[in-house]
Amino acid sequence: MKQFILLILISSVLSNSNAQLSLTMLPSGGNKKASVSEQIGLTQVNIHYDRPGVKGREGKIWGQLVPVGFTDPEFGSSKSSPWRAGANENTTIEFSTDVKIEGQVLPAGKYGFFIAYDPNECTLIFSKNAGSWGHYFYNEKEDALRVKVKPQALDKSVEWLKYEFSQQTENSAQVSLQWEKMAIPFKVEVDYISTQLASFRQELRTDRGFFWLSWNQAANWCLQRNTNLEEALLWSDSATSTGFGGDRVFNAWVTKAKILEKLGRKDEAAAIMKKAIPLGGMTDIHQYGRQLLSLKQPKEALDVFKMNFDKNPNQFTTLMGLARGYSANGDYKNALKYANQALPLAPDEQNKKAVQGMIGKLKEGKDVN
């Protein structure tokens, strides 16, 4: 047995050393080389492996071809090796950032991946040695992490071993080895928010940081997730600065004002928006007023709609803004007045029907927002 394995390995080594003289052929044993990649959050996960086939050996894979636990491969330096989780060379798995495997931390890097199979509970092994050939030189002292998972039966047989990603979210995914009628799944988790923030900090120091839009994008991302607001405010300062060109951009100031609101600095936020209103287009200002309504700030919203009307009088959009603003403040008389003025200016039949519906509600003394 040892001589047979030795001949195979020597043949493989000689083939590699004479690769320039070799023709392209299938991998040893007809096993298919494969790789699968997935991005979880901003973390790139790459798995490289060889795919053995069942080849008529149903019922003889798990516990036979794939042995239970650790075995002596009868070659190489290892006397107690797990399964290589594939065929031929090492199966490897690489993470671009730190991750958690089944809740346990694993640093970013490339690992040899092994499985000590058991029908009740498998041990997954991530080895710091990703370059050894197969499991012949496995050394448990090089283990970076071991976790235990339960194998799962499959309804349909999978002919060629494969790895799949499923149950993806921005923070996690399930990776599953599937072969014959068995799956061995494990959960990979990432810290997406921390990774995204680290990416922002790095990218804003490149040429992308030359423009207000990049700073505003990072600040607005934090705003939408209600996280890292103090640093987001600094990014918003950059976005609205003269140097980066955002000092005359309405949306950049809106982002800054909203961050200040979140931080409880409402007077500063109001002062900034008063300064920003003249910079906005009619639609921009109208949408800001609608946002204030959604935040249950009807008085502030009405003030914005009034400013927009003063800047863009007797337009369908600004008349509708006043109708909504007065309605939100319980002044249905004035709301009805401006809705009636907006009706003949409706740009299409859909908007006309919407205004008519608003008018009907206002006549009944109902808020249209």
Q: Are residues 106 and 183 in the same domain?
A: yes
Q: Is residue 10 part of a domain?
A: no
Q: Is residue 13 part of a domain?
A: no
Q: Is residue 103 part of a domain?
A: yes
Select from 174, 190, 206 the last residue of a domain.
190
Q: Is residue 304 part of a domain?
A: yes
At how many degrees (to 10) do helices 349-363 and 332-342 cross? 160
Q: Is residue 17 part of a domain?
A: no
Q: Which two tokens stand for residue 154?
A: 């499959």
Contact 184, 163 (CB under 8 A): no
Q: Which two tokens stand for residue 187?
A: 């959960």
Q: What is the pLDDT of residue 227?
A: 96
Q: CA torsion 6→12→16→22, rounded to 10°?
A: 140
Q: Return per-residue pLDDT of the chain as tens, 369 residues.
A: 445 444 444 444 444 545 455 676 666 666 789 999 999 999 999 999 999 999 999 999 999 999 999 988 888 888 888 999 999 889 999 999 999 999 999 999 999 999 999 999 999 999 999 998 888 899 999 999 999 999 999 999 999 999 999 999 999 999 999 999 999 999 999 999 999 999 999 999 999 999 999 999 999 999 999 999 999 999 999 999 999 999 999 999 999 999 999 999 999 998 998 889 889 999 999 999 998 899 898 998 999 999 999 999 999 999 999 999 999 999 999 999 999 999 999 999 999 999 999 999 999 999 999
- Which residue bears the tokens 């290589």? 84
Cα within 13 Å of Cα(107), Cβ side? 5
Q: How many domains does the chain have?
A: 2
Could you say which DSSP state residue 118 is in?
-
Q: Which two tokens stand for residue 148?
A: 């235990």
Q: What is the pLDDT of residue 135?
A: 85
pTM of the model: 0.76
First to last CA, the chain: 81
Q: What is the pLDDT of residue 47?
A: 98
Measured CA to CA, the distance from residue 76 to residue 70 in angstroms comes to: 15
Residue type, 23: L
Identify the CA nearest to 58 among candidates 183, 151, 177, 158.
158
| CATH code, domain carrying 274 | 1.25.40.10
Q: What is the pLDDT of residue 25?
A: 64
Domain that holds residue 132: 31-190
- SS3 state at 106: strand
- Give the count of beta carbons closer than 10 Å to the beta carbon of residue 202: 11
Cα within 13 Å of Cα(102), Cβ side? 15
Torsion sign (Cα): 245, 249, 252, 253: positive
Q: What is the pLDDT of residue 308?
A: 94
Q: Are residues 96 and 201 in the same domain?
A: no
Select from 190, 220, 254 the last residue of a domain.
190
Q: Are residues 335 and 263 in the same domain?
A: yes
What is the enclosing helix (H) or strand (E) of 268? helix 266-276
Q: Are residues 168 and 209 in the same domain?
A: no
- Exposure b/e, 162-175, CB count within 10 A at least 16 = b: bbbbeeeeebbbeb
